[in-house]
Amino acid sequence: MRDRQIKKLIEAEKKRQNETVNLIASENFVSEDVLEALGSELTNKYAEGYPGARYYGGNEITDKIERLARERALKLFKLSPEEWAVNVQPLSGSPANLAVYLALVPQGGKIMGMSLAHGGHLTHGQKVSVTGKFWTQIPYGVSRETETLDYGEIKDIALREKPNIIVAGYTAYPRFIDFQKFREIADAAGAYLMVDMSHFAGLVAGGVYPSPFSVQGGRILADVVMTTVHKTLRGPRAALIFSRKDERNLPAKIDKAVFPGLQGGPHLNQIAAA
């Protein structure tokens, strides 16, 4: 690297990481393969659109890369391509969540998510986030006595407020989530159920955490599932949005929200690295 100042700083950060026991749950160490893909010639390519429908020429190879990423994402969570679609273009978790809301919640509609003070994330409708400016936040939290989710109270809030979407999955809640109960609450309130599994996606893939994709009582639990790739999945800074295939046409709505709704050309080096 010819920029000596940046090179020196990168080397210093590398040394810091190598000499530190990192207990930050949302950070991980990527492999050399990930770093190689991030720094590859894919950085040079513009690919607005989706495979087979790009606005630029020369995307025959990049189409194959994006299709392969979709295939691998579905396979990782043991999902059927007949039942689920996945968008691999979101740049990170926050814009991925924003894309889901843009697709499924009308402006001014209600997003029901965990309060930031109880372990929720900024993008689950918090007022300090853009999600709290375009939409109305309906917060829920944990019980003061047990410090766990009170599903009865969550149901009462949902029935009273009638949110457009309910978000399950948090930044700081170290316990299992009962997705079956959230499915029942969402059905009773007439809401979409979105699961943000960014912090435990690797545990879901490994089969040691309840899956939001599971079928219980003859019904798939979540309507939409979002995850980042850089936490327990040990990939680059990127995100995935899984959506159910049914008569509601969720995949098409989400694809349109990601591009052209929020983003231009995808970062193909990130997609390949993921």
Confirm whether 83 is a catalytic residue.
no
Confirm whether 64 is a catalytic residue.
no
Confirm whether 48 is a catalytic residue.
yes
Confirm whether 20 is a catalytic residue.
no
Confirm whether 16 is a catalytic residue.
no
Catalytic residue among 237, 245, 253, 256: 237
Catalytic residue among 66, 184, 196, 255: 196
Catalytic residue among 136, 228, 244, 255: 228
Catalytic residue among 110, 155, 183, 231: 231
Report how far residue 169's alpha carbon sits from residue 174's, in angstroms, rounded to the nearest whole number. Answer: 10
What's the token pair of residue 229?
């790739």
Confirm whether 156 is a catalytic residue.
no
Q: Which residues are catalytic?
A: 46, 48, 196, 228, 231, 237
